[in-house]
Structure 1
Amino acid sequence: MTQIIYGIHPVQEALKSSHFEFEKILIGTRKPHPAIQIITDLANQRQIPIIYATKEALDGMVKGGNHQNLVGFLKEIPYATLEEVLSRWRRSGSEALFLILDGIQDPQNLGSLIRTALGCGAHGMIIPRDRAVGITPAVIKVSAGA
């Protein structure tokens, strides 16, 4: 399932990460932010299609969010299995640090927890499949520090 992310910092951070695969990136036709050039360079390196769109088209995609003339379309957000997370930790040779979450409903809270976990060097986060917020554009935006 395609997932959108928007805003300069979230899109740029996702482009730098090998965990995210993009279908395409839409850039507004209005006066571009200087960081847009960095983003287009990263997108070109990864052979991600860039499409130019009107502000109105971008506004309609993010439904009130601050897109900063930039919307990325991600292929399915990758969730690691518990076995993959544990294997990554074992290979690291360090003491384990995992964040185990239950019932987090607010995207802002999940985004903040992801950002904190990354900053603390956590090996992974364990979140339930049901009765919890998934990875949404708001979660990605907050986790990127935007």
Structure 2
Amino acid sequence: MSSKQNQWIVGVNAVASSVENDADNVREVLIEAGSKNPRLIEIEEQARRKGIDVRRVNTQALDGVGGQVRHQGVVARYAAARLWAENELEALVTAAEGRALLLILDGVQDPHNLGACLRSAAAAGVTAVVIPKDKSATVNATVRKTSAGAADRIPVVAVTNLARCLRDLQKQGVWLYGLAGEAEASLYSVDLRGNVGLVLGGEATACVVSPASIAMVWSRSRCRAISKASMCRWPPA
């Protein structure tokens, strides 16, 4: 297969999650030769049980694959992440039967931040994460590692025009809430039952929509997208 059809995922948690939850898309696992790390042995045994090719290789080979991402002694060749199409989002919302929870990210360009948002989203039971096709990080090896496998468990929908997508969601009955430090209402005082979309700006951007378009809620501080995503998941102290 060409490099366009495969990606490398690196790190113990990301590889272990992929082997456990999505073995059909794992092409092979490379593990550091001579390592007695119990986590690596566990990954090797589980991969072999599921029929995945496993090879023991030297550290230099792992370094060549992992690049600047710390591989922790294990990498896996994986089918390229599937980005859901914009026209599939409506079906995802419909399938949630009035309980859709969408995380809509505008301009999150740091792959570590995107991975962390996906990890929080998966833990919170988010239906799908929406990102713009342009000016946004995409799902790569860094995102997969940071997300600890969540990038392959939760639908990530890439849209051409985020503002238009939000208008379409409103027409479908999705209530949209934007996080802004200057807003007067607290997120924790808002009734989030029904179909809900949380709109978060990126590291240096505001939400793509204006306060007139959606309800703006207080997020404690003018913080970055990943901090906002974490606060959406956990109640305030």
Q: TM-score, normalised by structure 1?
A: 0.87
C-alpha RMSD over aligned residues: 2.1
Higher share in strand: 2
Distance 1:58 1:19, change over 3 A: closer
Question: What is the 5 A alignment of 1:80-95?
Answer: 80-95=84-99
Higher relative contact order, structure no. (Cα contacts within 8 Å, ≥ 6 residues apart): 1
Q: TM-score, normalised by structure 2?
A: 0.56
Distance 1:116 1:70, change over 3 A: same
Structure 1, unmatched stretches of 5+, are none
Aligned positions, number? 145
Are 1:36 and 2:40 matched, yes or no?
yes
Q: What is the rounded CA distance, in whole Å, between the counterparts of 2:25 and 2:43 in structure 1?
A: 14
Q: What is the rounded CA distance, in whole Å, between the counterparts of 1:72 and 1:128 in structure 2?
A: 27
Three-state SS of the structure 1 residue aligned to 2:31 is strand
**1:102 Cα deviation after fit:** 1.9
Q: What is the rounded CA distance, in whole Å, between the counterparts of 2:75 and 2:145 in structure 1?
A: 12
Map of 1:10 onto structure 2:
14
Provide, for residues 70-90 of structure 1, a one-character-per-residue CA deviation record: whole Å limited to 9, x for no partner.
011111211223444443443
Percent identical pairs in the alignment equals 29
**1:142 Cα deviation after fit:** 1.3
Distance 1:58 1:129, change over 3 A: same
Are 1:140 and 2:158 matched, yes or no?
no
Structure 2, unmatched stretches of 5+, are 150-237
Map of 2:113 onto structure 1:
109
Q: What is the rounded CA distance, in whole Å, between the counterparts of 1:78 and 1:91 in structure 2?
A: 19
Provide, for residues 79-138 of structure 1, a one-character-per-residue CA deviation record: whole Å limited to 9, x for no partner.
223444443443343511101112211011101110111121110011122221111221
Map of 1:130 onto structure 2:
134
Distance 1:43 1:86, change over 3 A: farther
Give yes or no for contact 1:27–1:69 (8 Å, CA) kept in 2: yes
Q: What is the rounded CA distance, in whole Å, between the counterparts of 2:97 and 2:128 in structure 1?
A: 14
Q: 1:55 aligns with which of 48, 55, 59?
A: 59
